Amino acid sequence: MRDKMNELTSRGLCTFYYTSHANFLFVAESAAIADSIRKQLLVKGIPGWRLKPTEQSPADTDSRT
């Protein structure tokens, strides 16, 4: 997953992924779009610790990584 993310980032795209038994890679043209997607997932109940790389905020903090 890291190799894919690094390749996309080197092309100017913003990435993060949902980690689970089936990982999902999210790709956006800007950090603002990626942040919007991340926020929508959190609002829908996705645990913040499942989104990598994590951007810790008090609401997202969880002991699992």
Q: What is the mean pLDDT of residues 10-29?
A: 95
Assigned domain for 41 exists: yes
What confidence category does residue 1 fall into, taking pLDDT thresholds of 50, 70 and 90? Answer: confident
Percent of the chain clearing pLDDT 90 (strictly above): 77
Assigned domain for 57 exists: no
- What does the pLDDT read at residue 54? 63
Assigned domain for 58 exists: no
Assigned domain for 10 exists: yes
Domain assignment of residue 10, given as a range: 2-52
Assigned domain for 59 exists: no
DSSP 1-65: -HHHHHHHHHTT-EEEEE-SSS-EEEEESSHHHHHHHHHHHHHTT--GGGEES----TTT--S--
User: Based on the structure, what is the number of domains in the chain?
Assistant: 1
Assigned domain for 60 exists: no
